[in-house]
Structure 1
Amino acid sequence: MTDLPPGAVRRVVILGGGTAGWMTAAALGRLIAPTGVEVTLIESEEIGTVGVGESTLPHLRDFNLRLGIDEAEFMRATRATFKLGIEFCDWGRLGDRYMHPFGDFGAEGGGVPFHHYWLAAQARGEAGPLDDYAVPIVAAYEDRFAPPKADARSVLSTYGYAYQLDAGLYAAFLRRLAEAAGVRRVEGRVVDVAQDGDRGAIVSLRLADGQEIAGDLFVDCSGFRGLLIEQTLKAGYADWSHWLPCDRAVAIPCESVGRTQPYTRAIAMPAGWRFRIPLQHRIGNGYVYCSAFETPEGATAALEQALEGAPRAAPNHLRFLAGHRKLNWASNCVAIGLSSGFIEPLESTSIYLIQAGITKLVELWPRSPLDTVSADEFNRQMMLQYERIRDFIILHYVATERDDTPFWRHIREMTIPDSLATRIELFRETGVVSDYREGLFLHASWVAVLLGQRIMPRTAHVLARAEDPQRLAAGLARLRRMVAEAGRSLPLQDDYIAAHCAWRPPSGQSAA
């Protein structure tokens, strides 16, 4: 244990369990507690968790690795499958299909990004579909998976992967990890929050059984209600429903059928979109919709009709409001997870935003409970995360030609943020994707969605157009063959999981 300096944070109190609470607890238990900081988590069995954030981004691998988590153990514990990307169906037009892969299109080596060469050849009818030049897409559609090669010279090194998991089981797995690292769990429901009369900082939380839990720094993982960050500290909420009008969801897991796909599917629906997330033991399904254009009964019926197997649970209905806290760190309280904000899970960003908040908190660990310098920088960085994810999600909606339902006609008529309008116009005119210094989605992600939803640049970059047409066509054909052979050379995901990380129910227990 390290001797902490006077005035340092000595006691951290996390309010709320679930994925956000236990990710925070596991990270602080492993990374911060060894410095001498006590970490306590309060949760109540009376209060349920949302528990539908089952699809993730590749960044979660880094989080698990930093905490020393063995991947095979994690996969078995969470009954997870691997994920090479997200397929989007019916978004640009009815019948359209494309994939946002976790990897690059093409290969390195050109003077401009690959998609410019593809555009130049495609204009002459000398290129195949863009998806044919990405290993993770080819492998995903063949239901194949293996980790990427370390050799950068191999086309099998050009992709990453994420996980499709049971969020409730992940929280339970992290709880064991956190408690082993010394995190103390307290069962109870908070009934009162004591504040410093002079500064307004949170001093302690009183539970229904009379316990008083004091702390120096509080982490609010209480979900949508934001018991500390909003109900106590009045941080405020920026409402983005005018750009992201979906405000309801219904989720129903069902039995698995057939082979397990190494990708999540997002299917556009009359009043929103439907997700399909295949795990080892079941398929997660949900309909995210706008209540102005669909009823809970109608959404449930539409989802039930789409189930591929027998339902495994009753419909779970959720309400939410797209947006974020105006302050994610207020006084001596940091909001993590749904208490921080919510953007619909179209690009699997929910768990990523939890991870981003935890990572920034650790990086900007306060010198004292009321460290305004750290708080200001945390708020600035998290604001960028939310705004840039917001723009990327809105892109999926506004880049559509659909007008077949009132919902899609509304989407086509709505205004969008200037930051997104500028990016779309730049790509449409020049094919250029301006890269972020800070933010989640990188170049290939924007290319996948922009081109996948028919926003075609008026021209390719001049350097791509200057390439010898015959040489370019031959190179693209050769690359297309290499990608096809590489993607199809991988084992079936089900075979890989069976050999390395399959979950099997204990003797006498069903696979439920």
Structure 2
Amino acid sequence: MPHEPVRSIVIVGGGTAGWMAATYLARRLAHLRLAITVVDSSAIGTVGVGEATVPAIRDFLRAIDLGESDVLRETEGTIKYGIRFDGWRADGHRFFHPFGLYGVGSGGVAFHHYWLKLNAAGQAGPLADYCLATQLARHGRFLPPADQPANDLGVFDFALHFDAAKFAHLLRRLALANGVTHIDARIDHVARDGETGLLQAVTLADGREIAGDLWIDCSGFRSLLLGDAMGVPYIDWRHWLPCDRAVAIPCVAAPGDPLPYTIATARSAGWQWRIPLRHRTGNGYVYCSDHLSDDEAEATLLGTLEGEPLAAPNRLRFTTGHRARFWDGNVVGLGLASGFLEPLESTSISLIQSGLERFVALFPDRGFDPRLAATYNRQSVLEFERLRDFLFLHYWSNRRTGEPFWDRMRGIEPPEGLQVKIDAWRSGGEFVRYEWDTFQDHSWLSMYAGFGDLPARHSPLADQCETADLAGTFARMREAIGRTLALSEPHGDFLRRSVGA
């Protein structure tokens, strides 16, 4: 029905993806007076281990008029300034990927070129000394980002850690308050129109039929609508990202205030996450089943917990990749129903968010012009590919020799687009930016420097400054960061003051 407006949206699946979609669409499309329904079954569990985010989550919260302090309070949340990587370069080595810039450039030359010049002279010091976000994390402090920083030294951001199940419950309450209808039932059958191929209705286990104009598939790995009903195939990326298993176990938190960052620790066949919440610590081991059994992974994780387990181990199986199309006909997939990238950089929730933002910008009528879907699909595939490349770089750059999994990862040829980035960096310290790159230059810099992969030379433009002058300038940068750090408060004090913890 070309040009007739969409009047109803049915979201299949609750959990984080389903309730994010419900709250966001109810707020952003409120003027359209749509009927929005969430159909999920309380008898079907959710994955529920997405507990770390990136700073974009704060944009999402603003879009749905949800305060950060409310989220922290209701979800046992904490602040996140980035991720500390332990043992990825080698046992005993660690580095930090911050949500913030490094240093201040000058004369049209990026800071890192001056750092490379001074580092070659043995006078630069660690790159981490020039990032405020890293220093806040390292010292366990909190400082709200300045609205208009005086210079790049003050540019940083933060994200949140939270209990994913509590976050979904909070979103559910907000969605229902905004007029969303919730049906707790299992879906037994999905019906498509024989002529148009569009999805028409679902039949519930109790015999009820739910019809809708537009469908959002948030059914998790099952991909009930996009994968099963619409028949959209899955593109497998295990060649580049072969980890295909995870086991998750929450435990009692260690004494003291929670750290304001995530920790990712390299293990023999993958890596282990540590996510600090106020009421517990989230832990998980992401691994490759070619190199480690499920029982061995579980034993390793149990042996490294900082406190008593709070739940039985939750074992997960997955295939990294994505559906060939994220939007097909009148069905849009979000979250695990559309694809999966392992949680190494905490991008699962941000992918749901960006998918919603793109979809609202391209919101269709009941004609479902295929050009809208084609645009959406192109953007979604590019976003997934860019993230895949960034995640792969973590594995490919490792120097953990003598371990079959890590030796294997170093031997895999990078995707072409990533190789172009690596070549530009290694030859001249330059960053290549692509459309729909999620992580910007400072994130790539933290990875390259963290793995000790420095370019053969700095830019000749950095030679406009003498080494002695640079040394003085760099010392003043460190002092300025120190003065700003002194204005911060302990992370635990902030949490107690802001959420009454």
TM-score by length of 2: 0.98
Q: Paired residue for 2:402?
A: 404
The total of aligned residue pairs comes to 500
Cα distance in 1, alignment partners of residues 455 and 122 from structure 2: 16
Gaps of at least 5 residues in structure 2 are: none
Counterparts of residues 28-427 of structure 1 (less than 5 Å): 28-153=25-150, 157-257=154-254, 258-427=256-425
Cα distance in 1, alignment partners of residues 280 and 153 from structure 2: 29
Cα distance in 2, alignment partners of residues 233 and 89 from structure 1: 42
Cα distance in 2, alignment partners of residues 431 and 501 from structure 1: 44
Cα distance in 1, alignment partners of residues 148 and 407 from structure 2: 48
Cα distance in 2, alignment partners of residues 157 and 125 from structure 1: 26
Q: Paired residue for 1:491?
A: 489
Deviation digits for residues 36-59 of structure 1 (CA, Å, limit 9, x no counterpart): 211000000111000000000000
Gaps of at least 5 residues in structure 1 are: 504-512
8 Å Cα contact 1:16/1:220 also seen in 2: yes
Q: Paired residue for 2:465?
A: 467
Deviation digits for residues 241-288 of structure 1 (CA, Å, limit 9, x no counterpart): 010000000011111112211000101110000000001111100000
8 Å Cα contact 2:84/2:95 also seen in 1: yes
Counterpart amino acid of residue 78 in structure 1 = T
Deviation digits for residues 44-79 of structure 1 (CA, Å, limit 9, x no counterpart): 011100000000000000010011111211110111
8 Å Cα contact 1:244/1:394 also seen in 2: yes
Displacement of 1:369: 4.9
**1:228 aligns to what SS in structure 2?**
helix
**2:83 aligns to what SS in structure 1?**
strand
**1:288 aligns to what SS in structure 2?**
strand
Q: 1:482 aligns with which of 480, 483, 491?
A: 480
8 Å Cα contact 2:153/2:477 also seen in 1: no
How much identity, in percent, do the aligned residues show? 45
8 Å Cα contact 2:2/2:367 also seen in 1: no
Displacement of 1:99: 0.6
Cα distance in 1, alignment partners of residues 420 and 437 from structure 2: 17
Displacement of 1:26: 0.4
Deviates more, 1:112-121 or 1:25-34: 25-34
Cα distance in 2, alignment partners of residues 296 and 115 from structure 1: 42
Displacement of 1:154: 5.9
Displacement of 1:110: 4.2
8 Å Cα contact 1:332/1:369 also seen in 2: no
Displacement of 1:151: 3.6
Cα distance in 1, alignment partners of residues 22 and 426 from structure 2: 45
Displacement of 1:465: 2.7
Q: Paired residue for 1:508?
A: none
Cα distance in 1, alignment partners of residues 6 and 304 from structure 2: 51
Displacement of 1:155: 6.5
Counterpart amino acid of residue 63 in structure 2 = R
Counterpart amino acid of residue 175 in structure 1 = R
**1:115 aligns to what SS in structure 2?**
helix
Cα distance in 2, alignment partners of residues 451 and 132 from structure 1: 13
Counterpart amino acid of residue 185 in structure 1 = H
Counterpart amino acid of residue 30 in structure 1 = R
Deviates more, 1:228-237 or 1:480-489: 480-489
Deviation digits for residues 418-461 of structure 1 (CA, Å, limit 9, x no counterpart): 11111111101110011234221111011110111111100011
8 Å Cα contact 1:27/1:67 also seen in 2: yes
Counterpart amino acid of residue 52 in structure 2 = S
Displacement of 1:484: 2.8
Q: 2:25 aligned with 1:9, yes or no?
A: no
CA 404–281 in structure 1, closer or farther in 2 if over 3 Å, else same = same
Counterpart amino acid of residue 253 in structure 2 = S
8 Å Cα contact 1:55/1:165 also seen in 2: yes
Cα distance in 2, alignment partners of residues 381 and 327 from structure 1: 11
Displacement of 1:410: 1.1
8 Å Cα contact 2:117/2:462 also seen in 1: yes
8 Å Cα contact 1:216/1:369 also seen in 2: no
Counterpart amino acid of residue 226 in structure 2 = I
Deviates more, 1:481-490 or 1:411-420: 481-490
Deviation digits for residues 326-379 of structure 1 (CA, Å, limit 9, x no counterpart): 100011100000001000000000000010111111111012252212111110
Counterpart amino acid of residue 325 in structure 1 = R
Cα distance in 2, alignment partners of residues 343 and 329 from structure 1: 18
8 Å Cα contact 2:131/2:153 also seen in 1: no
8 Å Cα contact 1:328/1:382 also seen in 2: yes
Displacement of 1:488: 4.3
Displacement of 1:407: 0.7
Q: Paired residue for 1:506?
A: none
Displacement of 1:493: 0.3
Cα distance in 2, alignment partners of residues 470 and 405 from structure 1: 43
8 Å Cα contact 2:124/2:474 also seen in 1: yes
Cα RMSD (Å): 1.4
CA 300–488 in structure 1, closer or farther in 2 if over 3 Å, else same = farther
Counterpart amino acid of residue 68 in structure 1 = D
Q: 1:458 aligns with which of 456, 459, 465?
A: 456
